Amino acid sequence: MSLLLIRDLSVELAERPVFSGVSFELREGELVGLIGPNGAGKTTLMRAAMGLLPFSGESSLAELSPQYRARHAAWLPQQREIAWPVSVEDLVALGRLPHGTGGAEADRLAVDSALDRLQLDPLRHRDATQLSGGEQARALIARALAQESRLLLADEPIAGLDPAHQIAVMEVFADLAKEGHGLLVSLHDLGLAARHCTRLILVAEGGILADGPPAKVLVPELLARAFQITAIHEDTPDGPVFQPLRVLK
């Protein structure tokens, strides 16, 4: 089933086109990595898809009313803000806001399950503003999961996490995809993208340069064009291994 349909999407910021004519579809069970160099428009693409900034073209999400959209799709911005000294539990419970009041039991289960998935249960009563950067990042991911939406759009959710937590979060995302959710996740770590994503969308040069399984996207010609790098990409018994090597002059 299709969870997100983007057709001929174009965005201008300050009268400068960021990208134009972008189309893709995201189906349930997919963990799609959105990759591309800095400034390619990954964040803009996700915000436009959510309907949070003006665009031309179509996004199936932007057509929904804000409250209904929030039940269908969770949005995890790159900017990690926790304005007030709330407990981790209360922070995660903010994900339940779109569901309105009345479902106290469902809310509790959703919060518990999100805390559990991110291994945050021991921290649930701690002041979220006093946590380490990595713990805050995981608490904010848990907030998005507590929303229990079919679709999750996450902007660089694993930036700043230690390797163990980066892998753990990508495994949580992969599990969600296996359970039938759809995820669109922007990433700079191509190694993790290669290992965990079912599909990659490469954004560069004002549009989508490539869209397909990691092995078809992370090829020398596209890497040279989009990132100006070389890399090795090997299939091992432990899964695909991808390592960027050099910057092309």
Partner 1 sequence: MTPVLRILIPLVILLALVSLALGPAGLGLGESLRALVLGGDGPAVLVMREIRLPRVLLALMIGASLGLSGAAMQGFLRNPLAEPGIIGVSGAAAFGAVLALQTGFAALFALALPLAALAGALVAVLLLVALAGPRGGSLTLILAGIAISAMAGALTSLVLNLSPNPYAAGEIVFWMMGSLADRSVTHVMLALPFTLLGWLLLLRSARGLEALTLGEDAAEGLGIDLTRLRWQVVLGTAAAIGAATAVAGVIGFVGLVVPHLLRARVAGRPGRLLAVSAVGGAAMLLAADIAVRLIAPDRDLKLGVLTALIGAPFFLRLLWQMRRARA
In DSSP notation, 196-242 reads H-SEEEEEETTEEEEEE-HHHHS-HHHHHHHH-EEEEEEEETTEEEE
Site string for partner 1, 105-144 (x = CB under 8 A): ----------------------x------------x--x-
Segment near partner 1 (CB under 8 A); pick from 44-52, 163-171, 182-190, 193-201: 44-52
Burial pattern 88-109, b for ≥16 Cβ within 10 A else e, equals: bbebbbebbebbeeeeeeebee
Q: Does residue 157 bind partner 1 (CB under 8 A)?
A: no
User: Tokens 């964040």 belong to which residue?
Assistant: 43
Q: What residues contact 48, with CB distance under 8 A and at least 6 apart? A: 9, 11, 55, 59, 62
Which residue lies nearer to partner 1 by CB, 78 or 243?
78
Q: Does residue 169 bind partner 1 (CB under 8 A)?
A: no
Residue among 35, 70, 184, 203 that touches partner 1 (CB under 8 A): 70
> What gap in Å lies between CA 222 and CA 210, rounded to an integer?
8
Shortest distance, position 209 Cβ to partner 1, whole Å: 26
CB 186 within 8 A of CB 43: yes
Q: Does residue 94 bind partner 1 (CB under 8 A)?
A: yes
How distant, in Å, are the alpha carbons of 21, 38, 76 from that of 210? 13, 17, 24
Q: How many other β-carbons are positioned within 10 Å of the β-carbon of residue 233?
A: 18
Q: Strands of 2-13's sheet, edge to edge?
A: 16-27, 2-13, 56-59
Residue among 25, 27, 57, 86 that touches partner 1 (CB under 8 A): 86
In whole angstroms, what separates CA 144 from the centre of its chain? 10
Segment near partner 1 (CB under 8 A); pick from 33-41, 79-87, 182-190, 228-236: 79-87
Which residue lies nearer to partner 1 by CB, 43 or 200?
43
Q: Does residue 54 bind partner 1 (CB under 8 A)?
A: no
Q: Does residue 173 bind partner 1 (CB under 8 A)?
A: no
Segment near partner 1 (CB under 8 A); pick from 29-37, 45-53, 114-122, 226-234: 45-53
In whole angstroms, what separates CA 217 from the centre of its chain? 18
Segment near partner 1 (CB under 8 A); pick from 93-101, 186-194, 214-222, 232-240: 93-101
Residue among 33, 45, 49, 69 that touches partner 1 (CB under 8 A): 69
> What gap in Å lies between CA 148 and CA 174, rounded to an integer?
15
Segment near partner 1 (CB under 8 A); pick from 62-70, 113-121, 201-209, 231-239: 62-70
Binding site for partner 1 (CB under 8 A): 47, 50, 52, 65-71, 74-77, 79, 81-87, 90-91, 94-95, 97-98, 127, 140, 143, 147
